[in-house]
Chains A and B, each alone.
Chain A
Amino acid sequence: MLGKSVAPVSPGRRPAGEWTGLAWLAGLALAAILARRRPNPWVRRAILAASLIICGWHFNVQYSTQQAASLATGALPPWTLSAPVFLVLALPLLTFLFGNFYCGYLCPFGAAQEAMEEVTRGALAVDPSKEVWRYARAVKYLLLFLLALLYAAHRDAAVLQADPLITMFSGMPGRFVLFLGLGALLLSLTFRRFWCRNLCPAGAFLALCNGVRVFRRLRPPVQPAKCPLGVRTGTEFDCICCDRCRHESR
C-alpha cells in the first residue's frame, strides 16, 4: 500500500481512540455508578441499550482480554485521552472502587445477551441451581488462565483472538468468533447471561479486580439471597453488580 496512490478514506466506523468514544464510555460509566445508588431496572436497561448501540456498534469500545493483557504486561496504549486508555487503566481502577459495574451495566455484549432475554421476556429462561453454577463459573477463570499461558508463551496478541469480545463489534469478526458469539447469544435465551457468568475471560479478570475490596463504603450492598444469577454471598467475586436483587420490582 505504501508508495502507491491511496483512494480517499470512505467515512465509516469511527476509530475507537477518538475522544467522543471516550466521552460516551466515561459518561455511561458515571451514569452506571450513580444509578447503582438508587437502582432502577429501566435506568439500567437504558444504560445497557446506550452501551450496546453507542459503545458497541458505533465505537467498538468493548472491554476484552486484549485490554486485560495490555494491563497485565504493561504494554499500555499511548497516554492520550482515549477510550483504550480508559478501558485499560481506568476501568480496573473503578472496578476496585465501585465493584464490577461494567459487567452489569456497561458491557455491550452483556447488553446484547440481556436484549435477547428481554425479547422473549424470559419465557425460555431456565436457571441452573446455584450449586451447579458454583462449578460452572470456574470455567471462565480456567479460560483466562489458558489465554494468559498462551500469551506468555507466544507474546503475540493473536492468541487472544478466540475471545469474541475483541472483534464481535468490529464489523469483521472471524467466522469462528461469529459462531461462538452468536451461539452464546442464543444460549443466553435459556441461561441468563450465559457467556458472562460462565465463560467470559475478560469478565473473569474484572471479577478478580472486583474481589479486591478497597473502599467497601463505595459499593452498594447487594442481596445475594435474591440473586437470580447464582451469587450466594455478598463477598463472591462473581457478582456482576447488575442490581437485579435490589430492584424494587423483584
Chain B
Amino acid sequence: MKAADALFLVCVAAVAALFVAAALSHTETAATPPAVPAAPGATGRSRDLDLERVREMIERGDLSGREAEFYREAPAGPQNETASPPE
C-alpha cells in the first residue's frame, strides 16, 4: 500500500470517528419518545397564549408563520424566568 493510500484511509477514519462522536453526542440532547402519551392538562399549568396577537405578528411579517428550521441554543441564565404566573 502506498503512503498516500495509508494517509487517505487514516484521514477518512479520523473524520468518520469525529462524525460518529458528534452524532452520538446529539442523542443526549434529543428528545426521547414518550413511552406513554402525555395527557393534556395532567400536570402543570398551560401558558396564556394570545393567538390573536401571534396572528397579527405573522401578518405583519414579524413572525414567519412556520416552524423554525434552525434553533439557537438558549443562553445559560436564570431558568423559567417567565414561568411563574403573573400577579
Residues of A near any B CB (own CB < 8 A): 2-3, 6, 8-9, 15-17, 78, 126-129, 132-133, 135-136, 139, 142-143, 146-147, 150, 153-156, 158-162, 167, 170, 172, 176-177, 179-180, 183-184, 187, 191, 194-195, 198-199
Chain B positions within 8 Å of A179 at CB level: 18
Q: Is B26 an interface position by the 8 A CB rule?
A: yes
CA distance A216 to B9 in the complex (A): 34
A136 touching B23, Cβ below 8 Å = no
A136 touching B70, Cβ below 8 Å = no
The secondary-structure label for the interface of chain B is helix
Chain A positions within 8 Å of B24 at CB level: 150
- What is the size, in residues, of chain B's interface with A at 8 Å between Cβ atoms? 39
A143 touching B1, Cβ below 8 Å = no
Chain B positions within 8 Å of A176 at CB level: 18, 22, 25
Chain B positions within 8 Å of A127 at CB level: 4
Q: What residue in chain A is nearest B32 (Cβ atoms)? A: A154
Q: Is B27 an interface position by the 8 A CB rule?
A: yes
Chain A positions within 8 Å of B49 at CB level: 2-3
Q: Is B72 an interface position by the 8 A CB rule?
A: yes
Given contacts A150-B24, A191-B8, 20 further A-B contacts (CB under 8 A): A2-B54, A3-B49, A6-B62, A15-B64, A16-B69, A126-B4, A126-B8, A128-B4, A143-B23, A146-B20, A159-B26, A159-B27, A162-B26, A170-B69, A176-B18, A176-B25, A180-B15, A180-B22, A191-B11, A198-B12
Residues of B near any A CB (own CB < 8 A): 1-2, 4-5, 7-9, 11-13, 15-16, 18-20, 22-27, 29-33, 48-50, 53-54, 57, 61-62, 64, 66, 69-70, 72
